[in-house]
């Protein structure tokens, strides 16, 4: 069964990274964690056109460096390996050599070209990667294939797995895009402590895929925040293996926009799943900004509001304190006229043309208490551009989780 969206994109029930043709995935326990799955992989039957975007943190972890180098050679990836519990970050020359060895062992195990292997790690920073345990995981690759196990193996403080797959038509062929992600804390615009992997059976030009990924990332993964921290290991990878034999997709293909819309949909849904699963979170917060002078301005205002700890705690406490929203808009350093701004909590208007409106405080409190997704609507009335950002409330549990992260 599938759910049809307004843009004729079918969302598959229980879709995964293996929903597109020609992909397998799995996850095992190799000993990095006490008992939970901690090593996963995705494999394509053939080398796939690949694109990636990465954290802007100056401390880029060894596996990220290795993957960037491999992707830069011929823009093809066939196998991806991921471990959780250990980030292999800030581990110096040995960490880099360990990431290269991880790549080499996986290539030998799966009988693929070394530079066609992507590696990723997530977990505690500054601890050497236990290579004997990594070797155990690699030795078990392919023994079992289960996308759900892959999704579990990449988690850290996440409370749920995050996955989706969609289908749509191009050149009369049914094309599928699947995705999986992890992320719960250290989440902030310009990437975060998150990993996201997407697969498609479309034939797509690698350079065009790279440009499309940059564009959709700026409107999805770069528009979420949990706590304002940006990590060292984060990446988004997309693999297109061409199993459906459509005419090669690029910017000149008449249905290129259909593909981009589907990629945007998958990216946005995964991003929202990450934000909703923020450490200790009870609410997903969606900030919609319209009437901005530029797309960039709209995005910066939305990010300022979604990043405000005062806004996040107000949502957690069900306090309809619109002053915190206006304050965040004001320090976004974007062009605006304070005498024009309008703000609503869902359907409840609280500010019009820069002035407070009388509203039922209890109605506002009930809206914040009763809805798992809280929408904050801001109209700047200063142009024609809009943007949306996502985040979560900030709770006591966030402090508890991060006060004892390494224990």
CB-side neighbour CA atoms (13 Å) of 396: 1
Cα 359 to chain centroid, rounded: 36
CB-side neighbour CA atoms (13 Å) of 242: 18
**Structure-block tokens of residue 279:** 């450490």
Residues 6+ apart with CB under 8 A from 238: 50, 51, 52, 197, 198, 199, 200, 209, 213, 263
Scan for tokens 């798992």, then name that residue: 372
pLDDT at 181: 96
Name the active-site residue from 91, 176, 193, 217.
193
CB 40 within 8 A of CB 26: yes
> What digits encode the pLDDT tens for the residues 94-115?
999 999 999 999 999 999 999 9
How many helices (H) does the chain have, and how many strands (E)? 11, 16
The mean per-residue pLDDT over the stretch 280-294 comes to 93
pLDDT at 184: 62
pLDDT at 230: 56
Scan for tokens 């292999």, then name that residue: 88
Strands 117-121 and 76-83 come out as parallel
User: How far is it, in rounded angstroms, from Cα 376 to Cα 347?
Assistant: 9
User: How far is it, in rounded angstroms, from Cα 185 to Cα 406?
Assistant: 14
pLDDT at 59: 79
Model confidence at 56: pLDDT above 80: no
Smallest CA-to-CA distance from 298 within 332, 265, 343 is with 332
Model confidence at 266: pLDDT above 70: yes
The mean per-residue pLDDT over the stretch 179-183 comes to 93
Range of lowest pLDDT (154-168, 170-184, 227-241, 370-384): 227-241
193 an active-site residue?
yes
User: How far is it, in rounded angstroms, from Cα 210 to Cα 373?
Assistant: 32
Per-residue pLDDT band for 156 (boundaries 50, 70, 90) equals confident
Average model confidence (pLDDT) across the chain:
91
Model confidence at 192: pLDDT above 50: no
Model confidence at 208: pLDDT above 80: yes
Q: What is the dihedral of CA 394, 398, 399, 405, to 10 degrees?
A: -150
> What digits encode the pLDDT tens for the residues 211-249?
999 999 999 988 987 545 456 788 899 999 999 999 999
For the chain, domains (ranges, CATH) are 2-276 (3.60.70.12), 284-403 (3.10.20.340)
């Amino acid at each position: 069964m599938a759910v049809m969206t307004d843009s004729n994109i079918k969302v598959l029930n229980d879709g995964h990274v293996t929903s597109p043709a020609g992909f397998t995935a799995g996850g095992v326990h190799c000993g990095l964690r006490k008992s939970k799955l901690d090593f996963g992989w995705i494999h394509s039957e053939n080398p796939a056109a690949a694109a990636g975007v990465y954290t802007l943190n100056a401390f880029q972890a060894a596996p990220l460096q290795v993957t960037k180098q491999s992707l830069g050679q011929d823009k093809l990836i066939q196998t991806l390996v991921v471990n959780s519990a250990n980030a292999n970050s800030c581990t110096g020359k040995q960490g880099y050599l360990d990431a290269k060895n991880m790549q080499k062992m996986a290539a030998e195990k799966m009988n693929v070209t070394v530079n066609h292997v992507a590696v990723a790690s997530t977990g505690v920073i500054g601890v050497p990667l236990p290579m004997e345990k990594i070797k155990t995981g690699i030795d078990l690759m392919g023994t079992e294939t289960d996308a759900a196990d892959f999704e579990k193996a990449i988690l850290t403080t996440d409370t749920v797995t995050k996955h989706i797959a969609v289908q749509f038509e191009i050149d009369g062929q049914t094309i599928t895009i699947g995705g999986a992600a992890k992320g719960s804390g250290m989440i902030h615009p310009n990437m975060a402590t998150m990993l996201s992997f997407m697969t498609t059976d479309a034939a797509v030009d690698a350079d065009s895929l790279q440009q499309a990924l940059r564009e959709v990332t700026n409107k999805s993964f770069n528009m979420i925040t949990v706590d304002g921290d940006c990590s060292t290991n984060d990446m988004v990878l997309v693999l297109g293996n061409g199993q459906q034999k459509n005419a090669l997709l690029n910017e000149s293909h008449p249905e290129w926009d259909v593909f981009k819309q589907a990629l945007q949909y998958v990216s946005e849904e995964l991003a929202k799943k990450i934000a909703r699963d923020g450490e200790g979170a009870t609410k997903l917060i969606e900030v919609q900004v319209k009437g901005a002078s530029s797309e960039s301005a709209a995005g910066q205002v939305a990010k300022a509001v979604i990043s405000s700890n005062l806004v996040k705690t107000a949502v957690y406490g069900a306090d309809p304190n619109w002053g915190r929203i206006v304050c965040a808009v004001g320090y976004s350093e974007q062009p605006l006229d304070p005498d024009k701004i309008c703000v609503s909590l869902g359907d409840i208007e609280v500010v019009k043309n820069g002035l407070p409106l009388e509203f039922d405080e209890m109605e506002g409190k009930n809206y914040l208490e009763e809805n798992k997704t809280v929408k904050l609507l801001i109209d700047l009335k200063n142009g024609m551009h809009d943007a949306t950002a996502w985040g979560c409330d900030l709770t006591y549990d966030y402090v508890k989780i991060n006060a004892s992260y390494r224990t």
